Amino acid sequence: MSTKYDVIVVGGGAAGFYAAIHIASGNNGLKVAILERGKNVLAKVKVSGGGRCNVTHAEFDPGTLVKNYPRGEKELLGPFHTYCTGDTMAFFEERGVPLKIEEDGRMFPVSDSSQSIIDCFTGEADRLGVQVLKHSSVTDIVQLGDNGNPIWEITTIKHAYTTKKIVMATGSNPKIWTVLKNLGHTIVAPTPSLFTFNIKDERINGIPGLSTPARVSIMVKRVFNPNITITLRSQKATETLLEEEGPVLITHWGLSGPAILRLSAWGAKVLNEYGYRFKIRVNWLPDFNPAQVLPYLMKIKEVEAKKTVLRTKAVNVPRRLWTNLVQSAGLERTTTWADVSKVQLQNLAEQLTACTFQVDGKSTFKEEFVTAGGVDLKEVNFKTMESKLLKNIYFAGEIMNVDAITGGFNFQNAWTSAYVAAQAIVKR
């Protein structure tokens, strides 16, 4: 015997709770349940932003906000005009969770704790009578009745449920994508979107934890392989595919930080096709190029002639990085500026402004895993978030082929799509 609900939200994450809360608050006569496959809800919220929860980003213009979505830019413009960053702020403020804006635009709860967000969601769900059913992994969804006004039966590992409407908010869940594919939806093959670059190189060896501003370019060889779908801007043998500027973090396994993560998002599909093996060029002095730096280093050679190059940090990079780059330019620890040849200075200028690294693989944050891929956006009505193929089934969050760069943008997609879906359900 199945249990009946008016609305079932599949997925107890950010988008799922946000949808359920707005549905229940919009019509408290509806019987609403959340099905969560795990033993804990909101697991991704818990670890987001290093445990602080990067709720959204301080970009309040929808036309500018959509520029942060490698996939979903066009489709999200309308929804962002309906529900945007300011609305998200108001939601949390009204429920006693004020947000703050940091220098880089990221927004966090004033408490600096993701638990504030979790407590807000679980408290609201409880207050509104939303039933949260854990350990309820969905195994199948079947349509009952005609296409005009179908009833849906959801089978989990423990029980069966019937419902008039479903909100699918399961994120990157291959099993659910398979269920939707069996129901007729097209699933764009998932690939990792936010990941770090694995690099083994003496120039960054031994200095993990070091962060510094840089400009990073992904360099690719021009290929004639029809399976690799890239468009280069010239006929050169090597071309800049993507470029980003911002903080770069040196890690035990390579390079990370906002600039790298943004590149991984914009290049998600292409870098997957390259097998995550490609070259990058790093300018550790993003305001300068080699032609500008060389004359400056030659001036330092005159002024600091008696000093050693290693101990005279001539430019604004962290000292440990300077030491590694000086040695990689072919200079000994005891070499003075007076003894440096022009060729060596050219090498040093290149290391500082055009430092080439070979990337061999990627590393992902398992808890904060983001993918490109999911339900094909052509099959979703973005005015309501309802499936164009399956009546009374709605989508919210990362289950769709939408992803964003790092900085709170993926959460804003979750809030907006969940709200739009909830409003459509309440109005019906």
Task: Report the pLDDT value the prediction gives residue 222, as an integer from 0 to 100.
Answer: 59
User: In sequence order, what DSSP letters do the residues of 309-352 get, joined into one string?
Assistant: TTT---SSS-HHHHHHHHHHTT--TT-BGGG--HHHHHHHHHHH
Under 8 Å between Cβ of 20 and 400: no
DSSP secondary-structure letter at 149? S
Residue listed under structure tokens 């050679």 = 301
SS3 292: helix
Using the structure block, give the residue that is written with the tokens 């079932």.
8
Residue pLDDT, tens place only, 171-198: 999 999 999 999 999 999 999 999 999 9
- In terms of Cβ atoms closer than 10 Å to its own Cβ (0-12, 13-18, 19+), residue 93 is exposed
Dihedral sign (CA 270, 274, 275, 278)? negative
User: Parallel, antiparallel, or unpaired: how do β-strands 151-156 and 138-144 relate?
Assistant: antiparallel
pLDDT, tens digit, 9 for 90 and up, residues 72-110: 999 999 999 999 999 999 999 999 999 999 999 999 999
Summarize pLDDT for 213-255 with one digit per residue, the tens: 999 999 987 554 445 544 444 445 578 899 999 999 999 999 9
Angle between helices 114-127 and 14-26 (to 10 degrees): 30
Residue 154: beta bridge partners? 141, 161
pLDDT at 3: 95
Measured CA to CA in angstroms, residue 322 lies from 213, 284, 318, 337 at distances of 14, 10, 6, 15
For the chain, give the percent of residues with pLDDT over 70.
95
Query: Among residues of the chain, what percentage have pLDDT more than 90?
Result: 89
pLDDT, position 146: 78
pLDDT of amino acid 2 = 86
Q: Are the CB atoms for 200 and 325 separated by under 8 Å?
A: no
What crossing angle do the helices spanning 114-127 and 43-51 adopt, rounded to 10°? 150
Query: Over the range 44-81, which residues count as b (16 or more CB within 10 Å of their CB) and which as e?
Result: bbbbbbeebbbbbbbbeebeebbebbbbbeebbeebbe
Q: What is the mean pLDDT of residues 57-76?
A: 98
pLDDT tens-digit series, residues 386-399: 999 999 999 999 99
Look at residue 113 in the predicted model and tell me its pLDDT.
98
3-class DSSP state of 384: coil
Any idea how long the chain is? 428
The most distant pair of C-alpha atoms in the chain lies apart, rounded to whole Å, by 88
Chain-wide mean pLDDT for the chain?
Answer: 93
- In one-letter notation, the amino acid at residue 72 is G
When pLDDT is averaged across residues 293-299 and rounded to a whole number, the result is 95
pLDDT single digits (tens) 324-380: 999 999 999 999 999 999 999 999 999 999 999 999 999 976 555 688 999 999 999
Two tokens at 63? 């036309």
For the stretch 18-41, pLDDT in tens is: 999 999 999 889 999 999 999 999
**The tokens of 392 are what?**
């009374």
Angle at 399 between CA 411 and CA 39, to 5 degrees: 80
Q: How far apart are CA 78 and CA 86, in angstroms?
A: 15
pLDDT of residue 234: 46
- Angle at 401 (CA atoms; ends 399, 407), nearest 5 degrees: 85
User: Is the pLDDT at 1 greater than 80, yes or no?
Assistant: no
> Among 314, 325, 194, which residue's Cα sits nearest to residue 263?
194
User: Under a CB-based contact definition with an 8 Å cutoff, are residues 418 and 396 in contact?
Assistant: yes
Q: Say what the alpha-carbon torsion angle 91, 97, 98, 102 is, to the nearest 10 degrees.
A: -100
Tokens of 229: 């779908």
Q: Is 387 left (phi over 0), alpha (psi -120 to 50) or beta?
A: beta
- Does residue 124 surpass a pLDDT of 90? yes
pLDDT given at position 232:
43
The yes-or-no verdict on residue 418 having pLDDT over 60 is: yes
Sheet holding 56-57, edge to edge: 56-57, 106-109, 99-101
- Section 136-148 average pLDDT: 91
Note the pLDDT of residue 216. 98
pLDDT at 226: 45
Which residue in 371, 370, 374 sits closest to 400, CA to CA? 374
Distance CA(299)–CA(322), nearest Å, equals 18
- If we measure between CA atoms, which residue out of 425, 402, 426 comes closest to residue 68? 402
**Residues pairing with 56 in the sheet:** 107
Surface-to-core class of residue 194, CB atoms within 10 Å of its CB (0-12 exposed, 13-18 middle, 19+ buried): buried
The set of residues, in sequence order, having a beta carbon less than 8 Å from that of 58 and lying 6+ positions away, is 85, 101, 105, 106, 107
| pLDDT at site 233 | 44
